[in-house]
């Protein structure tokens, strides 16, 4: 196997000890560096010219890419915080800026870094990117519970992992990690839906998810009889055709007599108190229920 193939297998960034296990000698690494095939990143670490930028930056700090930063490239739903998440050894020191090896890290947030300390072991990690399971466990430590559950749901839904593998990792950690796993479900339609349903659950507001409505298809959430809540994730509803389809669905739901609330990703994630206040007010006024007059008028939610 050629050096280029080995580096690709390791994700473009590798510790020399990993390369040795694949048959690449230290002399071979030095030759590749002199030839410009590999670039030295820090002591014991090299990377290819096209290696992922965030992985390079995490290793430059002195750790491994983890949590949101490792999960998003895999397509796992995450409530993005714009930080570089790096796991380092439990007692690791002499950490560097993600953009300049000569500059001490100092306060991590000043460099846009969220630092994760390994729960066991004092040595710095010798992998450039955490496994999906480890990254999910690290996410529990730095994100609110609902967002962590949503990420677990997403990974399970996409079949990137399974409950058994997650259970092995969670069993070695805290009650909080096991609770997040217990709340997760592979049937969740989206991370945004998970976040909304868990928050409604905490409020004691009953709901149904992915309700099939005639002529409309599946709606994200239905509270009571007639309050339909649709959640516009970042990756959807951005094209002209999708926009038109959303409006067609809303029009038909209104014809059925439903109240329709449509929330964006930013509103659910960053403005939840306002969203919550609106839903609670509608429920308090019992506007989520059919009135006798509406029923006499023949209104109703026709299910498929």
Q: What is the pLDDT of residues 120-133, one digit of tens each?
A: 655 566 789 999 99
Q: Are 261 and 229 in contact (CB under 8 A)?
A: yes
Amino acid 238: pLDDT = 62
Amino acid 257: pLDDT = 92
The DSSP output letter for 178 is H
Q: What is the mean pLDDT of the chain?
A: 90
The per-residue pLDDT for range 42-73, each reduced to its tens digit, is: 888 999 999 999 999 999 999 999 999 999 99
Amino acid 123: pLDDT = 56
If one counts every other C-beta atom within 10 angstroms of the C-beta of residue 278, the result is: 13
Per DSSP, helices labelled H in the chain are 3-9, 16-21, 26-35, 53-61, 67-71, 132-142, 145-157, 163-171, 175-183, 191-203, 240-255, 265-270, 272-284, 292-296
* Mean pLDDT along residues 3-30: 87
Amino acid 188: pLDDT = 80
In degrees, rounded to 5, the angle at the alpha carbon of residue 236 between the alpha carbons of residues 243 and 199 is 110
Residue 234: pLDDT over 70: no
Radius of gyration (C-alpha) of the chain in whole angstroms: 24
Q: What burial letters (b/e) apply to 136-152, b meaning 16+ CB within 10 Å?
A: bbbbbbbbeebbbbbbb
Amino acid 235: pLDDT = 54
Amino acid 155: pLDDT = 95
Q: Are 249 and 216 in contact (CB under 8 A)?
A: yes
The per-residue pLDDT for range 168-199, each reduced to its tens digit, is: 999 999 999 999 999 998 878 788 888 898 99
Amino acid 258: pLDDT = 93
Residue 252: pLDDT over 60: yes
Amino acid 232: pLDDT = 82
Structure tokens at 88: 């380092």
Amino acid 212: pLDDT = 92
Q: Where are the domains of the chain?
A: 3-51, 58-183, 191-296
More confident residue, 4 or 217: 217
Amino acid 112: pLDDT = 95
Nearest-angstrom CA–CA distance, 239 and 118: 42
Q: Sort strands 227-232 and 96-97 into parallel, antiparallel or unpaired.
A: unpaired
Amino acid 94: pLDDT = 85
Amino acid 274: pLDDT = 96
Structure tokens at 270: 């960053």
Per CATH, which fold does 191-296 belong to?
Answer: Endonuclease; Chain A (3.40.960)
Nearest-angstrom CA–CA distance, 171 and 175: 8
Q: Who's near 27: CB < 8 A, 6+ residues apart?
A: none
166 pLDDT tier (thresholds 50, 70, 90): very high
Amino acid 190: pLDDT = 83
Amino acid 10: pLDDT = 87
């Amino acid at each position: 196997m050629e050096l280029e193939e080995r580096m690709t297998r390791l994700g473009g960034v590798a510790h020399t000890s990993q390369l040795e296990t694949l048959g690449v000698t230290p002399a071979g690494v030095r030759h590749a560096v002199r030839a410009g095939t590999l670039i030295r990143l820090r002591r014991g670490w090299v990377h290819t010219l096209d290696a992922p930028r965030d992985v390079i930056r995490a290793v430059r700090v002195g750790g491994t890419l983890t949590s949101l930063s490792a999960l998003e490239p895999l397509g796992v739903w995450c409530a993005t915080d714009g930080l570089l998440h790096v796991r380092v050894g439990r007692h690791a020191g002499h950490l560097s800026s993600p953009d300049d090896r000569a500059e001490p890290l100092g306060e991590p947030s000043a460099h846009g870094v969220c630092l994760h300390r390994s729960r066991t072991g004092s040595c710095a990690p010798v992998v450039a990117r955490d496994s999906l399971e480890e990254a999910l466990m690290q996410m529990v430590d730095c994100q609110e519970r609902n967002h962590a559950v949503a990420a677990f749901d997403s990974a399970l839904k996409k079949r990137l992992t399974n409950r058994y593998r997650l259970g092995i990792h969670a069993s070695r950690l805290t009650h909080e990690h096991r609770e997040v796993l217990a709340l997760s479900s592979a049937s969740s339609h989206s991370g945004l839906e998970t976040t909304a349903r868990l928050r409604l659950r905490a409020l004691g507001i009953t709901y149904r998810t992915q309700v099939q409505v005639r002529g409309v298809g599946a709606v994200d959430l239905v509270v009571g009889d007639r309050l339909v809540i649709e959640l516009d994730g970042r990756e959807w509803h951005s094209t002209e055709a999708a926009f038109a389809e959303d409006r067609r669905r809303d029009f038909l739901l209104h014809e059925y007599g439903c109240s329709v609330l449509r929330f964006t990703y930013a509103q659910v994630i960053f403005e939840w108190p306002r969203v919550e206040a609106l839903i609670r007010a509608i429920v308090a006024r019992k506007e989520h229920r059919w009135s006798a007059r509406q029923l006499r008028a023949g209104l109703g939610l026709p299910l498929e």
